[in-house]
Structure 1
Amino acid sequence: MIKKFVLSWLFLALLCLPLCAQIQDPVKFKTEWKEVSNTEAEIIFTGKIDKGWHVYSTDLPEGGPISATFNVEKMEGAELVGKLTPRGTEKDMMDPIFGMQVRFFENTATFVQKIKLTGGGSYDISGYLEYGACNDENCLPPTAVDFSFKGQAAAAPVAPAAKESKPEVAASDTTSIPLIPLTPAMSPKTDYWKPVISELNQFGEQINSESHSWLYIFFAGFVGGLLALFTPCVWPIIPMTVSFFLKRTKDKKKGVRDAWTYGASIVVIYLTLGLAITLIFGANALNALSTNAIFNIFFFLMLVVFAASFFGAFEITLPSKWTNAVDSKAEQATGLLSIFLMAFTLSLVSFSCTGPIIGFLLVEVSTTGSVIAPALGMLGFALALALPFTLFALFPSWLKSMPKSGGWMNAIKVTLGFLELAFALKFLSVADLAYGWRILDRETFLALWIVIFGLLGLYLLGKIKFPHDDDNNKVSVPRFFLALASLAFAVYMIPGLWGAPLKAVSAFAPPMQTQDFNLYKNEVHAQFYDYEEGMEYARRQGKPVMIDFTGYGCVNCRKMELAVWTDPKVSKLLTEDYVLITLYVDEKAKLPEPVKITENGVERTLRTVGDKWSYLQRSKFGANAQPFYVLLDNEGMPLNKSYSYDEDVQKYVDFLNVGLKNYNAAK
């Protein structure tokens, strides 16, 4: 029964993986005109922000995210007083990718612009608020909230009823978006702007990394559980526990059932721990911890302590009275309760070995910002830990072939210590960027990792000894290959000291802009930054097109360009087989003249080149988040499903190859 429950829970959890909606509308603004006196007024913008998203504040440094700005198109009988001012609770923290402090709002954002009335009480003001919004996976293009106020100021202070503006609407039914007649400067020779949302959907869901990351968390927990099995705290207990269940009753079926119950109890215990972390913190709090300098220092110190424990400096143990109390309860209880308490005793007794692994797993999943990540990681860990108890109960003869306890288990502990020490530097790097210490720039970080993995290789070869290691000078074949892999990894990172991208560690190392000395220049650049020009060139050359919807402030776009586009296979396809068109949705260059559009019944104004490309992405492809990649033929029709943020190079190569194959087949 418990087994069915656990499997059902896993199945439902996988079903609940979020589908990646194409059009996202996470922020809804309203505007209000508030007269403070007969000569002063305020325009108040109040935005409601969906959970997991945030809106950036005003006056952020150049090179960072999109700041909120107040823009005037018409102003009669009034003048601005000061700048746009944020109100409410701002969060101020270090963004490790941008390498700067950023300020933003969650849940609710409020901005206020003061106005002085100069026309004897009569005023006519129109314009728009522009803001940027992001979550952990995507950033939206600069979004405009139009406003228009016209009237006569009251003779005394008054606060009229709120007037709601016409915010940008991004509905899911984007196929009904009527395209505007474009100006001559915008109009192409062929109808490249024709919506292709239904044709794109026929290829299936867009390629994205969300489900991949969830599966990664589960299997990371599962691997952690397998490693915990081979530690001195767990491995010797397996045969004793299984033998106990098989011998406590003459009914072999009952013994097997008890062993299954014991394994299921382990799953329930660790799954409960993961759910507790989820309920206590939640997704937003976990994500805040992942970027908070103080907590990153705490994570760093915790992992260093765990590593020292694995090296043999000291033993991390829970109070003995806890273990004794649970053990005595298990002896007094009967039935399923006694089996559950025995499983709980195992959890306490093995804490000195499993605690550091669990601690590292929970620290790592905190950076995902996912509300279910801790539970999913603990589920994987518990299933791996419980697996041998059930398997050996089903096949008791396997017990005779179990390797005996020995020094090899301490070698596993020390190896885990090296790994925890390496990952601790990742969290110190975030704090280092936050406080501007500049003690852990990219080359310093890589130098430390090179030393750590080099020492790990020497340890596995028996050249370094720790307190609990035995005196056996022989190196087994598995240890030799692990040493080879560790030393090779250390050598692989050496070119990074001179700027090589090192795609294997790009998620852990500090950002490239912290590198003082960079000789690497192998980057892929677009052939065109204008949609119509690029499409006409591709038609003449007889090549398919890849449209890259990106943004200057899009972090994941830069990560894709560094980790994926620089791969030789991807680079060759993009430069030789495709015409690459990059469209910046936050480009501030003005259009020759503003263009009015009607989108889902709401009138909007396109003022900048970025507005134009953002509208193209929404109206033609039904998407509004970046990065967003789509392959087109020479008529503007899709050749494959779209592609979002996923650093899997082979998946990206397959995405490009399928599009190329479909293009050639159509010719």
Structure 2
Amino acid sequence: MRNLLTALVLFVTSLGFSQVQDPVKWKSSIEKISDTEYQLKFDATIEGEWHMYSQFTPEGGPLPLEFLYNNAQGNYEPQGKAKESEYTKKFNDIFGVDEYYFAKEAHFTHNIKITNPEVKNIQIELSYQACIEMCIQQNKYFVFDLATVTSKEVQNFEDLAATSTNNDTTKTKPVTENPSTDKSEKKGLWSIFIIAFFSGFAALLTPCVFPMIPMTVSFFTKQSKSRAKGIKNAVIYGLSIIIIYVLLGLIVTKVFGADALNALSTNVWFNVVFFTLLVVFASSFLGAFEIMLPNSWANKVDKQADRGGMIGIFFMALALAIVSFSCTGPIVGTLLVEAASKGGTAPLIGMFGFSLALALPFMLFAMFPGWLNSMPRSGGWMNTVKVSLGFLELALAFKFLSNADLVLQAHWMEREVFLAIWIAIFAAWAIYLFGKIQLPHDSKLDKISVGRLFMALLVSTFTIYLVPGLWGAPLKLISGFPPPMTYSESPYGVGNSKGGTSSLSEIPDGAKEGPQGIITFTDYDKGMAYAKEINKPVLLDFTGHACVNCRKMEENVWSETNVLNILNNDVVLISLYVDEKKELPEAEQYVSKTTGKKIKTVGNKWSDFQIEKYQANAQPYYIVLDNEGNSLNTPVGYTPEVSEYENWLKEGVTNYSK
């Protein structure tokens, strides 16, 4: 029974891959605002688990939605970018950038200003990518007839077919924004909170804060008339710490705004400035200088603290924040930098987590003063904690510099350079923990504690773990921090690192070194001719530059030794990129027989070829062919299970031999 169900699932899946997918349905309308201005509205309904990318998706990631006005020149002017409903934001560790996408539905409005009174229509092409476990490149065409639109009248059009314009005038409901629930954003906020919470505990162990705990708790317990009063004052003190830092997070959120923070996260200068700030913070922790607020601030706050009561306790908490700034400031600054890059309420959540961890000991030790006897004594170990935080901040700084480089696509900090810097930083940290390096504020060290030894061994292990990444190891523990494997000095960053070796001594004409160092053709005819010449089957790979699951297959499946050996030695790989924007020569452009669309680019050509030949438009899509272009087994799409994909390849190669 189980085998029967499995076979049924595979059969249904294969049917799905052999169909032309159209997961996004569109409805559109036009409204006349004035004699020279119209508003266009587009409502997208997205099937199931599919998602479509926003027009604001950062460069270097999946393809964004584009509004292309085919007859705009000399006739009308689109007014800026189209306004769109709220999207989901999620970091993509394959491309190393955030991706912005819509699920279930999306809504767009765009104002158009007429500059030529004689223009009769507005012709729009929507170009976008929709993905699930596969990706498809879609183009939809709309023509809005201006002659039929009168003032205050809305003309509606519905996308009932796979292409072009429809003049269905059935009235539709007004467009309402209904943003999808962003589960990934909630998960991201929890991550910010947890990181901030543990950062608060790290701040407690610094020389500026740790000695304050017994002093402050003793003050409340001795100055209060009763133990209950002392506990109450300590709780107020702790809550005041939380309020102070949360207010700081609120100010950052309000000053920049959630939308601005989202936009800034992929801004080059934002990342460069934050890189500089973190280097300054790290230098402070390492002992180069102290970052301190003016002493006059602390003196004024101390005077207010003498007032007593709740107001006096609040100013005592503020005095702690100011006096301890040389230790907590860099941590708070780093948290705000990282949280600001996430956007939304992340700075608020980050400051709450940090302040909660900072405030808890003051409240708990006031409730249970006997615990003070079990606290470790102040000493040189606190500076070790501070220096360790400096090394961590320095490593994090280069993540922001890497982000700037990825946005610019300057290739100054490719994956190998980033990893080399991290290896140097963590190796220096390990040497420091072993006591072989002393920094300005360190006390003389005759021996190291067992705890410090274990920490040194842990950092050393992590450093050694990073080293194979220079030769293409995926380093899944730090996925998302270094640049993606495709952003590398060597093609795709890995070469034949898993042991696969190409049987070719040189790259044939018309081919190049592709994923995993595999010799790859990007032209169907040239690849087929070469395969026939050397008598090998073809692996036809319909892919895309911005196809996430294509990259996952190349990095996680093609990199496995057995699969890589087959790809290098038993087949000729032809990879056809359906999102290649290079324009075809004028003589080679044509109108598709299957879709009726104008085929202008190389990507259009391969997409049309896939639809016409295989009745499919999803990527990745793999077919094993003989030298006459006949399929040797059932085509497959995204197949993350290595053994399944390997067996599928072997089946095709075996059928070719027969």
TM-score normalized by the length of structure 1? 0.60
Partner of 1:166: 157
Partner of 1:235: 210
Residue 267 in structure 1 maps to residue 242 in structure 2: yes
Of 303, 314, 320, the residue aligned with 1:340 is: 314
- Give the direction of change, closer, same or farther, for the CA distance of 1:251–1:490 in structure 2 (3 Å limit): same
Partner of 1:380: 353
Partner of 1:640: none
1:638-667, Cα deviation, whole Å (9 max, x unpaired): xxxxxxxxxxxxxx99xx9xxxxxxxxxxx
Letter matched to residue 373 of structure 1: A
Partner of 2:104: none
In the aligned structure 2, how far is the partner of 1:563 from the partner of 1:379? 39
Larger RCO: 1 or 2 (CA < 8 Å, sep 6+): 1
Displacement, 1:562? 7.7
CA RMSD of aligned residues (A): 5.5
Conservation of the 8 A alpha-carbon contact between 1:42 and 1:115: no
- Give the direction of change, closer, same or farther, for the CA distance of 1:167–1:228 in structure 2 (3 Å limit): farther
Conservation of the 8 A alpha-carbon contact between 2:94 and 2:548: no
In the aligned structure 1, how far is the partner of 2:467 from the partner of 2:346? 33
Displacement, 1:134? 10
Residue 130 in structure 1 maps to residue 126 in structure 2: yes
In the aligned structure 2, how far is the partner of 1:296 from the partner of 1:134? 29
Between 342-351 and 273-282, report the one with greater CA deviation: 273-282
Of 71, 80, 87, the residue aligned with 1:88 is: 80
- Give the direction of change, closer, same or farther, for the CA distance of 1:447–1:62 in structure 2 (3 Å limit): closer
Letter matched to residue 350 of structure 1: S
Partner SS, residue 55 of structure 1: coil
Residue 215 in structure 1 maps to residue 211 in structure 2: no
Displacement, 1:413? 0.7
Conservation of the 8 A alpha-carbon contact between 2:293 and 2:325: yes
Letter matched to residue 145 of structure 2: F
Q: Equivalences for 1:2-21 in 2 at 5 Å?
A: none
Residue 491 in structure 1 maps to residue 432 in structure 2: no
Partner of 2:266: 291
Displacement, 1:466? 0.1
Displacement, 1:474? 1.1
Q: Equivalences for 1:563-642 in 2 at 5 Å?
A: 593=594
Conservation of the 8 A alpha-carbon contact between 2:59 and 2:407: no
Q: Equivalences for 1:544-563 in 2 at 5 Å?
A: 552=544, 557=549
Conservation of the 8 A alpha-carbon contact between 1:56 and 1:131: no
Partner of 1:55: 55
**Identity within the alignment, %:** 41
Displacement, 1:439? 2.4
Residue 149 in structure 1 maps to residue 151 in structure 2: no
Partner of 2:329: 355
- Give the direction of change, closer, same or farther, for the CA distance of 1:284–1:26 in structure 2 (3 Å limit): farther
Conservation of the 8 A alpha-carbon contact between 1:98 and 1:555: no
Conservation of the 8 A alpha-carbon contact between 1:70 and 1:113: no
Displacement, 1:384? 0.5
Displacement, 1:433? 3.6
Conservation of the 8 A alpha-carbon contact between 1:69 and 1:84: no
Partner of 1:402: 375
In the aligned structure 2, how far is the partner of 1:314 from the partner of 1:26? 60
1:557-600, Cα deviation, whole Å (9 max, x unpaired): 578668877999xx9xxxxxxxxxxxx998999997569xxxxx
In the aligned structure 2, how far is the partner of 1:443 from the partner of 1:82? 49
Partner of 1:466: 439
Conservation of the 8 A alpha-carbon contact between 2:27 and 2:156: no
- Give the direction of change, closer, same or farther, for the CA distance of 1:45–1:554 in structure 2 (3 Å limit): farther
1:527-572, Cα deviation, whole Å (9 max, x unpaired): xxxxxxxxxxxxxxxxxxxxxxx9947576578668877999xx9x
Q: Equivalences for 1:369-448 in 2 at 5 Å?
A: 369=343, 371-435=344-408, 437-448=410-421
Letter matched to residue 361 of structure 1: L
In the aligned structure 2, how far is the partner of 1:325 from the partner of 1:162? 65
Letter matched to residue 55 of structure 2: V
In the aligned structure 2, how far is the partner of 1:339 from the partner of 1:479? 37
Conservation of the 8 A alpha-carbon contact between 1:456 and 1:486: yes
Partner of 1:68: 66
Of 477, 485, 489, the residue aligned with 1:516 is: 489
Between 484-493 and 355-364, report the one with greater CA deviation: 484-493
In the aligned structure 1, how far is the partner of 2:111 from the partner of 2:545? 22
Partner SS, residue 322 of structure 1: helix
In the aligned structure 2, how far is the partner of 1:487 from the partner of 1:314? 27
- Give the direction of change, closer, same or farther, for the CA distance of 1:327–1:485 in structure 2 (3 Å limit): same
- Give the direction of change, closer, same or farther, for the CA distance of 1:112–1:47 in structure 2 (3 Å limit): farther
Partner of 1:603: none
Partner SS, residue 166 of structure 1: strand
- Give the direction of change, closer, same or farther, for the CA distance of 1:446–1:33 in structure 2 (3 Å limit): same
In the aligned structure 1, how far is the partner of 2:287 from the partner of 2:469? 32
Letter matched to residue 253 of structure 1: A
Partner of 2:291: 316
Displacement, 1:289? 1.8
Partner of 1:278: 253
In the aligned structure 2, how far is the partner of 1:325 from the partner of 1:134? 59
Partner SS, residue 475 of structure 1: coil
